[in-house]
Amino acid sequence: MDSLLSQPQTTRMNPPEDLRARLQVQGGVWQMLPDIAVKALAMARDPNCSIKEFASVVERDPKLATEILRITNSAFYGARNPIMNLKQAVTRLGFAHCRNVILAASLGSAMRKLKLSEAWMQLLLWRHSVLTGMLAMSLNRRFNLGFIGEEFTAGLIHDVGRSLFAIIAPEDFAKADPLDFIEGPGVLQQEREILRTDHCELGAWFIAQNKLPEALVEVILMHHEPAKATEHRKLVATIGVADHMANYLQSNGSADEYDAQENPAIEVLFEASPGDVLACYTEARLMMSETMSEANSANGPFSMS
């Protein structure tokens, strides 16, 4: 399996040197994150970190702490009784979901520091990432896929390459990607022609450089071709399904005429994780409508303020 996974990494994860250099100078999304968020993300990955220690770091950033409480208390996370303090919130969410919340809250607030043209690009991409992450969570819940939060992180980060393009080469990115969320088969080719690499390759290289889990690298690299995924095929296919649904919602405004039969990743997902594929086809519109409604809500867990 390792050899299969290393194949695309060695052949595809080789973005042009000048783009790499720009990323190192401009730093991309990670340098836009507040220091406390970066520290909290590292702690959430540490198996020896206690809830008390974690909460004590997060509460130093009142905005981050407020966001965690707000999200924990949202219907999306199944809140029944209000959670009033951070330790309770972390206990309820668990570290995996806290990591998601911190990423979501931090990336969302980082957009406000940008020029309008850049902030707008990031907003649309951010919206797409959140929708994909939420749909991945819904798929996981409905079809018992067995993920424990990584599906949301993967959805949130699957298009990080597009966000990086928007930061390091905004003019070329605007030519390559009309941000209409109609992703035809030529979308990656168009990026390669204009930017000399595609967002999958750039994003996967960047995430690998930042030593994030290999599963995320494979998701980013293969989410347009889940049938070719290897080690983390189920996760890649889940994101492929969610990505297709999110694109449809963003390009059409609603799920009313969505045809799940046209989502090629569904077949891959249910090969990787046997389950009720027919239910997925029949319930797709409902799942998408509910997610869209939650994402649009001003009090939703990831509203874009």
Partner 1 sequence: MRPPIRVMIANASAVLRRLVTEALEDANEFEVYPAVHGGDVVNQLPTARPHVLILDTEMPVMNGIQTVKAIRETDSLLPIIMLCLTTEASLRAMAEAIPAGANDCAKFTLRMGHVASAKKHLRDELLPKIRFWADHRLQRLLEAPAIESREIVGMQPCAVTG
Binding site for partner 1 (CB under 8 A): 111-112, 116-117, 119-121, 123-124, 127, 174, 178-181, 250-254, 292-293, 296-299, 303-305
Measured from the CB of residue 127, what is the shortest distance to partner 1 in angstroms?
6
Longest dimension (CA), the chain: 53
Using CA atoms, how far apart are residues 64 and 216, in angstroms rounded to an integer? 24
Q: Distance of CA 187 to CAs 2, 123, 180, 224, 280, Å?
A: 29, 20, 11, 10, 26
Measured from the CB of residue 34, what is the shortest distance to partner 1 in angstroms?
16
Find, among 138, 146, 55, 130, the residue nearest to 95 by Cα: 55
Instruction: State the angle between helix axes of 160-168 and 116-142 in degrees (0 to 180), rounded to the nearest 10.
Output: 170
Measured from the CB of residue 130, what is the shortest distance to partner 1 in angstroms?
11
Q: Which is nearer to partner 1, 131 or 260 (CB)?
A: 131
Q: Which is nearer to partner 1, 76 or 95 (CB)?
A: 76
Q: Which is nearer to partner 1, 45 or 112 (CB)?
A: 112
Measured from the CB of residue 245, what is the shortest distance to partner 1 in angstroms?
14
Measured from the CB of residue 67, what is the shortest distance to partner 1 in angstroms?
12
Using CA atoms, how far apart are residues 305 and 302, in angstroms rounded to an integer? 9
Q: Which is nearer to partner 1, 27 or 178 (CB)?
A: 178
- Side chain identity, residue 262: E
Residue 47's contacts (CB-CB under 8 Å, 6 or more residues apart) are none
Q: Which is nearer to partner 1, 189 or 252 (CB)?
A: 252
